Structure 1
Amino acid sequence: MASRLKEKYQKEVVPGLQKEFNYKNPMQVPAVNKVVINIGMGEAIQNAKAMDAAVSDLATITGQRPVITRAKRSVATFKLREGMQIGCMVTLRGDRMYQFLDKLMNVALPRLRDFQGVSADAFDGRGNYTLGLREQLVFPEIDYDK
């Protein structure tokens, strides 16, 4: 089951970019390979229950079980020890990636208050794009009452 975004990419974007940049092969057109979603939980140092909520929210949003990230080194000013749980992340590829991007662009981002569009400055030198969200409530799967 291909998502709407994947079909649009294959039917409209690839031929359009191929024509615009004179690519001979459709494989020369840039594509999205993976989406990495990360939640950093600074308050998980004092409150271990906060990490459980973040893991369940991320699993609900993405449909995939998150990996818990741990501190690589100790930082005394943050009372952080090496190996402590500090966040969670999910890597999406293939159809799940396209479904998540479709949901992000068509449902979640328009629900943001005072949304002015995404910044073109968020690209790094290697073609990666960074987008930060303060709250997960913009996704329809997350209940405010929970």
Structure 2
Amino acid sequence: MTVLANQYREEIRPALKEAFGYDNIMEVPELKKITVNVGLGDAKEDPKLLDTVVDEIARITGQQPTVTRAKKAIANFKIREGMPVGLKVTLRDKLMYEFLYKLINVTMPRIRDFRGVSANSFDGRGNYSLGIDNHTVFPEIKVDDVDVVHGLQITIVTSAETDEEAFELLSRMGMPFKK
């Protein structure tokens, strides 16, 4: 098990049970999955870009991404049905905890002028989303080898029913929210 998973089981879960007054330990919110999404609008002009980004996202997440394709044609964007428009990865269990630990403790401190993530990015159902506009902040990416800098969106899905519960869960896991 990872450091963060052990910390959740041994420290965070009992503390949340006490803080919210749950009767049963199974009521305590937990992480369900983390999805990482990359939009690639430029993939239609440069087919090699898709292969490069697939490799980079696989290195960042530790899992092979799935190519997302356009569901319908949009003439104004020069997109035909079935064209690749992005990548996505869904992380669960061990990879999820490893990715979150790396995101919080290694990647976010590397972001220039970082002062914390917004506490307003919850969706009302206990899920949290954040965007990173430069993928080179991840330690697996060598800046010298990068041709095109792209961003990625990260969604952390929890079993929390309210944003307050999810905020407390992520705070105790070390998510650096703005004060």
TM range (shorter): over 0.9
Q: Name the SS for the 1:121 alignment partner.
A: coil
Instruction: Report SS of the residue matched to 2:22.
Output: coil
Match of 1:79 in 2: 78
Distance in 1 of aligned mates of 2:44 and 2:102: 31
- Opposite residue 19 of structure 1, the aligned amino acid is E
User: What is the aligned partner in structure 2 of residue 99 from structure 1?
Assistant: 98
SS in 1 for 2:136: coil
Aligned length: 145
In 2, the alpha carbon distance for the partners of 1:71 and 1:127 equals 29
Shift of residue 75, structure 1, vs aligned partner = 0.9
Give the 5 Å matches for 1:29-108. 29-108=28-107
Note the C-alpha offset of 1:126. Answer: 1.8
Distance 1:127 1:56 in 2: 31
Scaled by the length of structure 2, what TM-score is found? 0.79
Instruction: Tell me how far apart the structure 1 counterparts of residues 109 and 101 of structure 2 sit (CA, whole Å).
Output: 12
Gaps spanning 5+ residues in structure 1: where? none
> Distance between the aligned counterparts of 1:71 and 1:126, measured in 2?
28
Q: CA deviation at 1:21?
A: 1.1
Aligned to 1:22: 21
Looking at structure 2, the residues matched to 133 and 52 of structure 1 have their Cα atoms a distance apart, in angstroms, of 20
SS in 2 for 1:5: helix
Identity of aligned residues (%): 50
Q: For residue 20 of structure 1, report the CA deviation from its aligned partner.
A: 1.1
Partner of 1:121: 120
1:86 maps to a residue whose letter is: V
Report the Cα distance in structure 2 between the residues aligned to 1:83 and 1:92, rounded to whole angstroms.
Answer: 25
Equivalent-residue separation in structure 1 for 2:44 and 2:130 (angstroms): 25
TM-score (norm 1): 0.96
SS of the equivalent of 2:42 reads: helix
Higher relative contact order (CA 8 A, sep 6+): 2
Report the 3-state secondary structure (helix = DSSP H, G, I; strand = E; otherwise coil) of the residue aligned with 1:83: coil
Question: Any idea what the Cα deviations from partners look like across 1:104-139, whole Å, max 9, x if unmatched?
Answer: 000001100011111111110222211101111111
Three-state SS of the structure 2 residue aligned to 1:131 is strand
Q: CA deviation at 1:51?
A: 0.8
Q: Deviations over 1:37-86 (max 9, x none)?
A: 11111111211111111100000111111100001111111101110001
Mapped pair 1:145 → 2:149: no
Q: 2: distance between equivalents of 1:62 and 1:21?
A: 32
Show structure 1 runs of 4+ deviating over 3 A: none
Higher strand share: 2
